[in-house]
Structure 1
Amino acid sequence: MTEVRSSRLCIVVMGPSGVGKTTAAKGLAERLGWTFAEADEFHPKANIDKMSRGVPLEDEDRWPWLASIRDWTSAQAEAGRDTIITCSALKRRYRDVLRQASPRVRFLELVADRELVETRMARRQGHYMPVSLLASQFAALEPLEADEDGVEVGVAGDPETVVANALVALGLTPPPPGALPVGASPAHPR
């Protein structure tokens, strides 16, 4: 187990493409007042081009991407910020890289059946991940294990319900309306 060097927290919202990671993560970040990032933005162009052609990424493609997410998370923690980031984190060894960050890293695994995810993916526009790669995502998925710091939440409900269920499962309480996030001040909001 990696030694935690920071009192900050990072929630990694994980699961296959199309499960609702971005929607849930943005909702959590808004409710908690935490810094949000989309892991897709950390992919190098070569990875995006590969997926756009319908070619699944290999581990060699993922290691630098995961390291950049880990490093960003650590930098945010060192700046005094708690974070919410989306990341498929499909395999335990990928999550092991993310756990090397300086904050406490917890995982929120979003769970849905494949049919629901296929329907969602078919409706979304402007995303480089084609529905044709969904089977490879579900095949690669290694659900959280009992010794991993994380929780599972189903996504069959509306986004507000998913966020509310995630907050309960994670044991997190949003600040009262109008309150500043931890570490922020009126002169220097996050």
Structure 2
Amino acid sequence: MSTPHVVVVMGVAGTGKTTIGPLLAARLGVPYAEGDDFHPPANVARMAAGIPLGDEDRRPWLDAIGAWAHGRAGLGGVVSCSALKRAYRDRLRAAAPGIVFVHLAGDRSLIEDRMAHRRGHFMPTALLDSQFATLQPLGRDEAGVVVDVSGSPGEITSRALDALRDLERPARSSR
């Protein structure tokens, strides 16, 4: 990408946001912020107990991520955030216009298997159904790309970079 954008790596739990986000940031030469670190302790406790977060629970989390993204405007950065609903992405865009989304997407069974084998994360596989039920894919009018999560982290990161470059091409040629 030629312009330093803030990229939000989004998707349901277990798609690899925490793995791909730092790799993507390193390849772009920008800082990475872990979206889970923006959750208030009450949110983490709810999720660890298997209780899905509601919209009201997510507002302070989204606002904190949006403030980070706003502070990186023009400088670039990568942040992970599930951003499952269009309303959540709209809230992030309101705080930081110009952000771009990389939606990590894949087969539910692959994602569930990855979740079952990760260690030290508060999100149980029991919440995966609620994540998929909540997910609203990127709209055609939303700046972003969908990247398949099959393969190695390096392959996924390369696909994300290629897709982001492809996203920029039409903008340059239309000027």
What TM-score results when the alignment is normalised by the length of structure 2?
0.90
Structure 2 gap ranges (5+): 167-175
The CA distance in 2 between the partners of 1:104 and 1:67, in whole Å, is: 16
The CA distance in 1 between the partners of 2:4 and 2:19, in whole Å, is: 23
Q: Which structure has greater helix proportion?
A: 2
> Would the aligned equivalents of 2:9 and 2:101 in 1 still touch at CA under 8 Å?
yes
Per-residue deviation, 1:81: 2.5
Alignment match of 2:121 (pick from 110, 127, 130): 127
Q: RMSD across aligned C-alpha pairs, in angstroms?
A: 1.3
Query: Deviating runs (4+, > 6 A) in structure 1?
Result: none
Aligned length: 164
Alignment match of 1:53 (pick from 49, 55, 58): 49
Residue 58 of structure 2 corresponds to which residue in structure 1? 62
Query: Are 2:86 and 1:92 equivalent residues in the alignment?
Result: yes
Identity of aligned residues (%): 52
Aligned pairs (5 A) from 1:21-40: 21-40=17-36
Alignment match of 2:143 (pick from 143, 149, 172): 149
> Would the aligned equivalents of 1:73 and 1:103 in 2 still touch at CA under 8 Å?
no
Q: Secondary structure at the match of 2:95?
A: coil
The CA distance in 2 between the partners of 1:103 and 1:95, in whole Å, is: 11
Q: Secondary structure at the match of 1:12?
A: strand
> Would the aligned equivalents of 1:23 and 1:159 in 2 still touch at CA under 8 Å?
yes
Residue 77 of structure 2 corresponds to which residue in structure 1? 83
> Cα deviations across residues 33-88 of structure 1 (Å, max 9, x unaligned)?
111001100000000000010000000000111011101111223xx521100000
Residue 41 of structure 1 corresponds to which residue in structure 2? 37
> Would the aligned equivalents of 1:25 and 1:86 in 2 still touch at CA under 8 Å?
yes
Query: Are 2:130 and 1:136 equivalent residues in the alignment?
Result: yes
Q: Secondary structure at the match of 1:34?
A: coil
> Cα deviations across residues 2-55 of structure 1 (Å, max 9, x unaligned)?
xxxxx7511000000000111111111111111100110000000000001000
Aligned amino acid, residue 32 of structure 2: F
Q: Secondary structure at the match of 1:163?
A: helix
